[in-house]
Amino acid sequence: MKHLTVKTYAYGAALLYAMIIGLSFMFAKMTVEIAHPLDVLAHRFTLSLIVVSIPILLGLVKIRLSARDIWRILPLGLLSPVLFFAFQTFGLVTSNSSEAGIIQALVPVFTLILASLFLKERTTAAQKLFMLLSVSGVVFIFAMKGGLLSSSSVNIKGSLLLLLSVLSFAGYGVLARPLTRKYKPLELTWVTLMTGCIAFNAAALIRHAYSGTLEAYVQPLGNGTYILALAYLAIASTMLTTLLSSFALTHLEASQMSVFSNLSTLVSIAGGAWILHEPVSGYHIIGALLIIAGVLGTNIKK
């Protein structure tokens, strides 16, 4: 019974994680329209690290990590947040949140592939066919919007960056699975957030120093809309989701956890259409259904 209760909490954490991530594309799109993507990431992870460090500094929770432990967790932080959020944020500059949510649905496919390569998990012929079905959904969307045939490389570049972000996050899920057995969710969260904070602040400050625009680093912080969107991204979509995913991966397999990311696709499309008034066509819905059906099929083992 206790095991069942823990599993229930793990599924609940995965569900809440998917809902938060689904809306994050919309808020990320809002921030990159006001500030440079590197500044957004620097501000986002600085605020996240400050918030997660408060209970640690107050002595409410304790972090016991050696230099060797931090070194072991560091590759996890490089995959997500550094590579994942960098690719995602720059990809959102030339893509809308609905498309980002649909491409995000490929996470379970890449997770299953990487898990089979590095964790030696076997996949059946049916699972491979469902992978192709999921990929066909993405191809269908690009073909209908003219992305595959367009002479302009702007949209294609954004889509490729979003795909790279998906691949990075799939690697994160596979690598996090064994680490969650040794470290607490808060310990993993603290190290990965610190990695993102250092990397993105260094990149942002170097860019501003090179161009002589250091004052532009703090300028967006005076915008109320930016602050509200940043708060959601930093506290909910960065700190909280890292804690939720770390907890869920402690009790669920990487492939099981990755299925829940598909729900973020539906939340992303609905949020982008309702709040940002982004166009959603019939082919978006058809493509999303193909992706979701394919991803669910890849995770059915029997």
Segment 26-36, tens digit of pLDDT: 888 889 899 99
- Give residue 81's pLDDT: 93
pTM of the model: 0.82
- Give residue 50's pLDDT: 96
- Give residue 73's pLDDT: 96
In the chain, which residues have pLDDT < 50?
149, 151-154, 302
- Give residue 97's pLDDT: 63
Share of the chain above pLDDT 70, in %: 89
Can you spell out the DSSP letters for the chain? -HHHHHHHHHHHHHHHHHHHHHHHHHHHHHHHTTS-HHHHHHHHHHHHHHHHHHHHHTTSS-----HHHHHHHHHHHIIIIIIHHHHHHHHHTSS-HHHHHHHHTTHHHHHHHHHHHHS-----HHHHHHHHHHHHHHHHHHHHHTTTT-S--HHHHHHHHHHHHHHHHHHHHHHHHHHTTTS-HHHHHHHHHHHHHHHHHHHHHHHHHHHT-GGGGTGGGG-HHHHHHHHIIIIIIIIIHHHHHHHHHHHS-HHHHHHTHHHHHHHHHHHHHHTS-----HHHHHHHHHHHHHHHHHT---
- Give residue 301's pLDDT: 56
